[in-house]
Structure 1
Amino acid sequence: MTGVPVTIARRPRLVEPQLEPSPGDPIVDKHGRVHRDLRISLTDKCSLRCTYCMPAEGVEWLAKASILSTEQIVRIARIAAASGITTFRLTGGEPLLRPDVVEVVRRISELRGPDGPVQVAMTTNGIRLPQMLPDLIDAGLDRLNISIDTIRRERFAALTRRDKLDEVLIGIRAAQNSSLRPLKLNAVAMRGVNDDEIVELVEFAMEHDAQLRFIEQMPLDAGHTWDRAQMVTREEILESLSARFTLEPVPGRGGAPAERWTLDGGPHTVGVIASVTAPFCGNCDRLRLTADGQLRNCLFSTSEYDLMPILRAEAAGSGDSGAAADSAASAAATDLAIDGLLRSCIHNKLPGHAINDPSFLQPARGMNAIGG
């Protein structure tokens, strides 16, 4: 399919008084939350068409010319790392569809922040893992999450609109046999779809030395068909698990999105990400970068901060002078502008996502275009 630019209402570029912090200082919002996690979407394309994420046909892909280059991604990551971002999670769409994904991992993994080397994680559907995992680990990948909502063949094909369960299972086995730990499996719990598989999915994860993390279904589908009544809640998930396992809360959650419980005394655990019924906004430390260069301070934000004018302005001016000093000054000014936009984006972060407020508006973008 030919790439078609996605139209989205952009937030006007805010002209604000210079914030007190300067490059190298922690990135803190006005509610005191220190940000340490940047989620980078490498592409909006995916090899599956999950019903809660994308329509079956007619997906408007981002134009190829709008996608950030590896140089641009690494530059933004370098600036973020210098100000205390310690974890970079690569997402999509499906990140393994990006041809230079191994190079992206390699170059980000080489970055260092004030506290030392950064961590590089990835969320994937696992389909291309068997052939790519050795190179990804060699490049410096530290952690891996694999999405799998069902282990029943016909249900998988209906849910993802693709008959690729075997490929995903082979990918999970490859991850199980790797050095990457903890290995996490993500499942969106859906009423009448896979809510009868909750215990089965946990037992499957245990067999593969992985932690299952259930995710409450969120209003992030491209078709805007989300229905709260179809969402399986945190309490329902825990009730189903309690019928089979003895659950004990794991303390020390910090800013992690998942609450965790040990299963039958351990060592296995299960997690629940309850963004709708038990929001964890008060401890959120995440910032997002879309594949087309938009900063988002919340998964559910209806506004974005556009890095592309900053990057394009430097590129447009690069031919004005061949002097090395001018080039260095231009690069330094661009770095400063990128850092400033990162800080403006986080400074204006709201205290919560307001899903449970009657005035809540679903983001215009679907999850594949925002980044998981």
Structure 2
Amino acid sequence: MPPLADRFGRTFPYLRLSVTDVCNFRCSYCLPNGWQPTGTERFLTGAEILRLVRAFAGLGTWKIRLTGGEPSVRRDLTEIIRTTAAVPGIRRIALTTNGYRLAERAESWFDAGLQAINVSIDSLDRARFRLITGHDRLVEVLAGVEACRRLGFSAVKINTVLLRGLNGDAVDDFIDFVADRDLSLRFIELMRTRDNADYFADQHLPAHRVIDRLTARGWHPLPRVEGAGPAQEFMHPDSRGRIGIIAPYAKDFCASCNRLRVSARGLLHLCLFGSGGHDLRPLLQDDTQIGALQTTLTNLLTLKRDRHYQAEGDFGTLPSLAATGG
């Protein structure tokens, strides 16, 4: 079948696939009260995930990022990585994690076929890390990052959400952290959701201020590479690491959109800030349904909008980014 494409000429080689909504951290910008079960949770099974990946791969998707919640709370995560990596057409498997017990799990994930990993670290200060996440695990998480570097992952990245009052004064510390490490650090501008208006007003730090700081320190923007995410990458001749900026409110941010999202319950989200999802789960129950699923995906792409409409006050219907895998 033809590759997935929308009305605006954008193609979608990249799928962000959530495998659970559950998270064992309580990050202030995402789940400040921790994950709250409803008693109705029924996340995609391994077989459903495999059918979904096969359908997307048949439509030209070659990069899968497993997300959550926190993916590692699933006991079958290693098997999900293994089966996903074996799907014909899938060239890259990545994972986003909070780093919990990463040092002891990284090798099994690497051996199963995981190639790239993003670790969320919102402060390099132990006390602030605990304040943001609710856990005193910075030392453990950093040990996990080093374990991934030693194993030889093709990409080891750190995700840092910009928070004006919690890490806004530590941008230089992060820049210095990657100077002698072959890491890519992503500064992510805090995003507005349906329920975080007060937090957003208090903690939002515009990404352009960090870009100004990078420029002042001699960092230079790099061209985008095939299949890249939304980050604008910067390099410095004296730094082993790189810095990326994800600025969802920048002009034309959505013009380069190349990714779709499927939630842990099987809902296709055409946009992170969309108004609900499209239920794919009825088409994931049997291998004979893959063709029908592919036709459905192709048809749904005609509904994708040209951009998000946060500037017009449309923040979507999701209470937090954990519900779609970020």
User: CA-to-partner distance for each residue in 1:98-117, whole Å, 9 max, x for gaps?
Assistant: 1000000000101112xxx4
Shift of 1:178: 1.8
Q: How does 1:15-164 map to 2 (within 5 A)?
A: 24-57=1-34, 59-60=36-37, 63-64=40-41, 66-113=42-89, 117-164=90-137
Partner of 2:307: 352
Would you say the 8 A contact 1:54–1:222 is kept in 2?
Answer: no
Deviation by residue 1:242-268 (Cα, 9 ceiling, x = unmatched): 44x211111235653010111245543
Measured in 2, the distance between the counterparts of 1:279 and 1:146 equals 27
- Higher CA-based Rg: 1
8 Å contact from structure 1 (residues 54, 221) kept in 2: no
Read off the aligned partner of 1:147 and give its amino acid letter: S
Q: 1:128 to 1:342 in 2, by over 3 A?
A: farther
3-state SS in 2 of match to 1:28 = coil
Indicate conservation of the 8 Å contact 1:36/1:87, yes or no.
Answer: yes
**Please, what TM-score do these two structures have when normalized by structure 1?**
0.82
Q: Which moved more, 1:99-108 or 1:231-240?
A: 231-240
- Residue 218 of structure 2 is matched in structure 1 by 246
Answering whether residue 156 of structure 2 is matched by residue 183 of structure 1, we say yes
| Structure 1 pair 162–279 and aligned structure 2 pair: CA distance change class (3 A) | farther
- Percent identity over the alignment is 33
Q: Contact (CA 8 Å) 2:4, 2:59: kept in 1 or not?
A: yes
Task: Give the unaligned 5+ runs of structure 1.
Answer: 1-23, 315-330
SS in 2 for 1:356: helix
Q: How far apart are residue 222 of structure 1 and its match?
A: 5.6
Q: CA deviation at 1:57?
A: 4.9
Name the aligned partner's letter for residue 320 of structure 2.
G
CA pair 57-183 structure 1, distance change in 2 beyond 3 A: closer
Q: Contact conserved, 1:300 with 1:353, CA < 8 A, in 2?
A: yes
The Cα shift of 1:59 comes to 2.0
Query: For 1:270, which of 243, 257, 278 is the aligned residue?
Result: 243
Name the CA distance, whole Å, in 2 between partners of 1:173 and 1:357: 43
Kindly tell me the number of residue pairs found equivalent between the two proteins. 325
Counterpart of 1:219, as a letter, is R
Q: Any idea what SS the aligned residue of 2:80 has?
A: helix
Contact 2:81-2:109 at 8 Å conserved across structures: yes
Task: Give the drift of 1:213.
Answer: 0.9
- Deviates further, 232-241 or 72-81: 232-241
Which of 285, 293, 309 is residue 338 of structure 1 equivalent to?
293
CA distance in 1, matches of 2:283, 2:8: 27
Instruction: Give the superposition deviation at 1:354.
Output: 1.2
Which residue pairs with 2:279 in the alignment? 306
2:194–2:318 CA contact under 8 A, matched in 1? no
3-state secondary structure, aligned to 1:35: coil
- Which consecutive aligned stretches of 4+ in structure 1 deviate over 6 angstroms post-superposition? none
SS in structure 1 at match of 2:315? coil
